[in-house]
Amino acid sequence: MPLLSRGGFDQFEATASGPAADEYGLTGPQPFTVLREVTRALQPVPLTFASATEERGVQLTRLKLTPGSRVMLRSVTDPGTPLHILCWSWDLSGDAPLVTPGPDADLSRWTAPLNGSERFLDDAPLELVPPRKVVGCRSVRLILWQSGRVADPATVTGEVREALRHSRLASVLATLASGAPTTMMTAVGVREAAGELGREIAPVLRALCGDYVDFFEGFYPAAHDTVRSDHVSGFHSELSLRM
């Protein structure tokens, strides 16, 4: 479970159709929580997920960890132990989960430097998610990790990418691109698989990283088209995102 979070799957909106929608007057987009509750005994219920009207990406614009963050990363103030940034993200378009930094990234930019007694990344945005049309939602998960072992950022991100490729979430998301009808049960399956993802990736991180923290998870509905920024703080740390 991430230390910091914003939003959740239950906030995402979809439009129902079919007899259940007619019976309950479910016109227009409704939150997932409403759809799940009122259609519980009326499956299957066809759904259409909301889509963003423009391409949007996610950038990390600020990351700060004070000495007190040693409660989650023991070597956070050790100048000889780099702090690396890793992200995975997904939406309901049917695309496979994305892991960044990518294979061609400048990995030195994905390391938060030590400034005095703080780790501080500011005004040097990292592109966590390239601009693209978002369907349903955009989920962003941020991992901070360190290693005194032989594992390097390319190895860690490559192994996480492979684990995600074989995850239950990747399998469920692939059904969205298959052309099969999307129903409430599809959405429930995505929600359950997303909840298991952290546990599926944890063995990879434990094997390769000397220390890591499941730092942040954010959910951003596609229906909210306003360009925005987000700032989250806690546990002697803070981060800012730009959408």
Name the residue with higher pLDDT: 21 or 118: 118
Query: What's the pLDDT at 149?
Result: 63
What sign for the dihedral angle of Cα 102, 213, 126, 134? positive
How confident is the prediction for the chain on average, in pLDDT? 88
- Residue appearing with tokens 């993200």: 89
Tokens of 226: 């306003």
Tell whether the model's pLDDT for residue 62 goes beyond 70.
yes
Are residues 140 and 75 in contact, defined by beta-carbon separation less than 8 angstroms?
Answer: no
Q: Which pLDDT score is estimated for 35? A: 83
pLDDT: is 174 or 21 the higher one? 174
Beta strands in the chain (DSSP E): 4-6, 13-16, 30-31, 47-49, 56-65, 83-91, 98-100, 111-112, 114-115, 118-132, 137-146, 211-221, 229-234, 237-242
Segment 85-100 shows an average pLDDT of 94
Q: How many CB atoms lie within 10 A of CB 17?
A: 13
What is the pLDDT, as a whole number, of residue 150?
63
What is the chain's Cα-based Rg? 19
> Could you tell me the pTM of the whole model?
0.91
Query: Angle, nearest 10°, between helix axes 184-208 and 153-165?
Result: 150
pLDDT tens-digit readout, 178-219: 777 788 888 889 999 999 998 899 999 999 998 999 999 999
**CA angle centred on 80, ends 76 and 86, rounded to 5°:** 55
Given a contact cutoff of 8 angstroms between Cβ atoms, the answer to whether 96 and 170 are in contact is yes
pLDDT in tens, 111-140: 999 888 899 887 678 999 999 888 988 999
Tell me the mean pLDDT in the region 66-90: 90
Strands in 229-234's sheet, in edge-to-edge order, are 114-115, 118-132, 56-65, 237-242, 229-234
pLDDT > 70: percent of the chain: 96
Do the beta carbons of residue 51 and residue 138 sit within 8 Å? Answer: no
Residues 6+ positions from 100 with CB-CB distance below 8 Å? 86, 87, 88, 89, 126, 127, 128, 129, 157
List, in sequence order, the alpha helices (H) in the chain. 19-24, 32-38, 153-165, 168-176, 184-208
State mean pLDDT over 105-111.
Answer: 90
Closest CA to 156 of 210, 77, 112: 210
